[in-house]
Structure 1
Amino acid sequence: MAADAPVIAVIVAVSKNGVIGRDGAMPWRLSTDLKRFKALTTGHPVIMGRKTFESVGKPLPGRLNIVVTRDHDWHADGTVAVSSLGAALELAKAHLESFEPDPDDPDAEPPDTIFIAGGGQIYAQAMALADVLHVTHVDAEIEGDTVFPDIDPDVWKAMHEEGVPAGERDSHPTRYVVWERGL
């Protein structure tokens, strides 16, 4: 990876048995994790599949929302639709390269990370391209119909880890881990 290439980061919450979704939605309530997601991704391009976007229901504010869909007629206000993950990454890179500082905050660092936020098919494609995984490991076995690919310990190394007890608006305790591609 070139020194000035953006970081490609997968961001996901996944149960002990690999489940990330059920019936087009997240099968848990994790308010604490949603706050972390917002803090990490705001200001950065976020790539997601159409089904994931539709489960969210609206564009994520403060982020370029890139939606991957095979439906060439699909459109949602506040998003840019593309037909492949590769096209999404190229668009996100161009967006990062066009960064101009806010006149009210001229010392702001330009964003350098592209976040990939699901769903299952997009994650499966992204694992070979990602540099970093931001994984919230949900401390439960959950029934679901969408799963996250296995994290291969020969490829990924845990660089940061913290236990997060269930807050008052969380259905489960979690363990947040930042995985980096091994050298």
Structure 2
Amino acid sequence: MKTALIVAMDNERGIGKNNDLMWHLPVDMKFFKDTTSGHVVVTGRKNYDSIPERFRPLPNRENAVLTRNAAYEAPGALVFPSLEACLKHYADETERTVFIIGGGQIYKEAMDAGVVDELYITQVDHRYGADTFFPAFDESEWNVETILEQGKDEKHEAGFRIKRYTKRF
């Protein structure tokens, strides 16, 4: 099983505010969609609930939702009580990548557990006053390459670059 994490964050590591995205960046949204299509996406319940209903579950992906609420239902998605249970379910997955897509608590859990093989991080050149943040990590443990750069323009309120991190060992 290959596990990846995909996130966009601002200059203060902010990833969300009031359980919502803080920016509208079409090229980044297309990158997210193209990168995760055909794979598994794992999200926490609050993050899943923040996705507009008409887009739930995310199309062309197997959706997995993490929640401690045993009664929670997410039609069209699998529900797991923990990240550990979810990853155990996908342990024999060989065709698809398991993408951790948020939110903050799930990112922290995945990074702390050391289960992530690859990171896709969009660094947005702005500060948004977030209330949810991506955890700090030791970048020296990763090989890094910039795979996309987008300047500020009429469709993008801020410039950004997307970096791909792969484990060094």
Paired position in structure 2 for 1:8? 3
Q: Which position in structure 2 is the counterpart of 1:103?
A: none
d(CA) in 1 for partners of 2:137, 2:160: 17
Q: Is the 8 A contact 1:67 1:79 kept in 2?
A: yes
TM-score (norm 1): 0.84
| Among 28, 34, 42, the residue aligned to 2:37 | 42
What is residue 150 of structure 1 aligned with on the other side? 136
Deviates more, 1:164-173 or 1:78-87: 164-173
Aligned-pair CA distance for 1:163? 1.9
SS in 2 for 1:48: strand
Offset from partner CA, 1:5-62 (integer Å, 9 cap, x none): x221000001111100000001111111110111010110100000110111311001
Letter in 2 for 1:123: Y
Structure 1 residue 167 displacement after superposition: 4.7
Among candidates 73, 76, 80, match of residue 74 of structure 2: 76
Instruction: Give 2:26's aligned residue.
Output: 31
CA contact (8 A) 1:32 1:167 kept: no
Deviation at 1:152, TM superposition (A): 1.2
Alignment root-mean-square deviation, CA: 1.5
Amino acid at match of 1:181: K
Give the letter for the 1:48 counterpart.
Answer: T
Which whole-Å CA distance do the structure 2 matches of 1:37 and 1:136 have between them? Answer: 10
> Tell me, which stretches of 5 or more residues in structure 2 are unaligned?
none
Answering whether residue 169 of structure 2 is matched by residue 177 of structure 1, we say no
SS of corresponding position for 1:154: helix
Aligned equivalents of 2:87, 2:153: Cα separation in 1: 35
Q: Which is worse superposed, 153-162 or 14-23?
A: 153-162
Could you tell me which residue of structure 1 aligns to residue 106 of structure 2? 122
**Unpaired segments ≥5 residues, structure 1:** 1-5, 98-109
CA distance in 1, matches of 2:15, 2:107: 11
1:59, 1:170 → 2: CA distance? 26
- What is the number of equivalent residue pairs in this alignment? 164
1:7 touches 1:114 (CA, 8 Å); kept in 2? yes
Contact conserved, 1:46 with 1:117, CA < 8 A, in 2? Answer: yes
Which whole-Å CA distance do the structure 2 matches of 1:63 and 1:181 have between them?
25
State the TM-score, normalizing by the size of structure 2: 0.91
The equivalent of 2:85 in structure 1 is 87
Query: How far is the alpha carbon of 1:78 from its aligned partner?
Result: 1.1
Q: Which has the larger radius of gyration?
A: 1
The answer as to whether partners of 2:67 and 2:82 remain within 8 angstroms in 1 is yes
Q: Equivalents in 2 of 1:161, 1:32: separation in Å?
A: 13
C-alpha distance after superposition, 1:99-119 (max 9, x if no partner): xxxxxxxxxxx33x1100000
CA apart distance, 1:166: 3.1
1:64 aligns with 62
Question: Structure 2 counterpart of 1:83, which letter?
Answer: P
Percent identity reads: 35
